[in-house]
Amino acid sequence: MQTSNQYYHHGRFKVAGGVLPDAVTAYRTYGDPKNDKVIVFPTCFGVKLALGSQDYLVGEGKVLDPNKYFVVTFALFCNGESSSPSNTPAPYGGPYFPFISYEDNIRAQHVVLTKHLGVRKIFCVVGFSMGGQQAYHWPVIFPDFVERFVPICSSARTSPHNQCFLEGPKAAMLASKDFDDGHYKSTPQHGIRAFARVYSAWAYGQTWFREYKYLMDGEYPDLNSFIRERWEGRFIANNWDANDMIALLNTWQKGDISIIRDGGDYEKALKSIKAKGLIMPSKTDLYFTPEDSENEVSRLRDAKLHVIPTIWGHFAGGGANPPDVAFISEKITEFLQAP
């Protein structure tokens, strides 16, 4: 079982915003490569493979069990592990890094799977948040390569409401006194902390914040301590690069399966998906609302909707609350075992 980061070098790789002279995709594999039940599980915003971000679903006895499936986890471009502003040399590093689309990520992952790992078909793509948007993009870009897909707390396109929210943390970073238009020489503490504070307000549902006792039960004396440790600390302590954060956010903000080959026709793009889908929004998600998921399922050919009954908002899908993980795991298990 492979549990450390591996790196595939694509060489010169065209992306939506230009080109990368030597694009790199970081990934991990779990289980037997000869197993034809291949599960792809890409990352979302603000997580890295090296931090064990996918462990809440991957592992022996878990829903994505390496004894049952060959699991491949991928790091998004711009997350600091795959090619990113922070690890790309001049002339494309830092603020000069080109825009990366979801399609760019999927094409790169497809190369790793087919040319390097010998995968002929994906049994299922599972993803949370930005990972879920990748799960939606896979069967659109490679319609005959993917059998099933599971977007968790996600959507096939980033809604205007979601795009508007993302303008908040982006503006906080770009306007900070130490971001310096991306030319900072040391960690822009003011910008990253401001970004994190704006971001935190949407991560949990309104219901969760009403249940204030969950926040204050012994661990945090007040709300400010919670935000400083769980949000500012999340990005500062884990050495997130500010340009990486903005580049990732831009990928998220412009996500839309319909721009790939359907000329912006969202309904047509949804109806074109042949893979079976399991769509799991959170009841209290303020990023990707369950109403959007209901709309998508009504247009998909073969998809089931299971709303996560939770007060944990968007984070319900990312492993924050064990009962939510149990619910998600149960539904995915049923979906993977169904004919």
Domain ranges of the chain: 6-158+257-337, 162-251
Distance of CA 286 to the CA centre of its chain: 16
Higher-confidence residue of 78 and 212: namely 78
Question: Is 306 among the residues known to form the active site?
Answer: no
CATH of domain 162-251: 1.10.1740
The pLDDT assigned to 202 comes to: 78
Question: Which residue is catalytic, options 104, 256, 285, 292?
Answer: 285
pLDDT band (50, 70, 90) for residue 215: low
Report the alpha-carbon distance of residue 296 to residue 99 in Å, rounded.
Answer: 27
Q: What are phi and psi of 2, to 5 degrees?
A: -90, 120
Question: Is 129 among the residues known to form the active site?
Answer: yes
Q: Is the pLDDT of residue 220 over 90?
A: no
Nearest to 215 by CA among 111, 207, 60, 113: 207
Q: Is the pLDDT of residue 77 over 60?
A: yes
In the numeric block, the tokens 């830092």 are attached to 94
Tokens of 283: 């009841």
- Mean pLDDT (the chain) is 94
46-68 per-position pLDDT tens digit: 999 999 989 999 999 999 999 99
Question: Which residue is catalytic, options 86, 101, 129, 154?
Answer: 129
The pLDDT assigned to 65 comes to: 98
CATH of domain 6-158+257-337: 3.40.50.1820
Report the alpha-carbon distance of residue 184 to residue 268 in Å, rounded.
Answer: 44
Q: What is the mean pLDDT of residues 229-246?
A: 93
Q: What are phi and psi of 275, to 5 degrees?
A: -65, 155
Report the alpha-carbon distance of residue 15 to residue 105 in Å, rounded.
Answer: 9
102-145 per-position pLDDT tens digit: 999 999 999 999 999 999 999 999 999 999 999 999 999 999 99
Q: Is the pLDDT of residue 200 over 90?
A: no
Alpha helices (H) along the chain: 102-111, 130-141, 160-174, 189-203, 206-210, 213-216, 223-226, 233-236, 242-253, 266-272, 290-297, 322-337
Predicted structure pTM score: 0.95
Report the alpha-carbon distance of residue 115 to residue 96 in Å, rounded.
Answer: 29
Tokens of 247: 């580049």
250-283 per-position pLDDT tens digit: 999 999 999 987 789 999 999 999 999 999 999 9
CA angle, corner 40, sides to 247 and 322, nearest 5? 85
Question: Is 181 among the residues known to form the active site?
Answer: no
Question: Which residue is catalytic, options 154, 155, 314, 324?
Answer: 314
Nearest to 80 by CA among 246, 240, 318, 253: 240
Tokens of 127: 């993803």
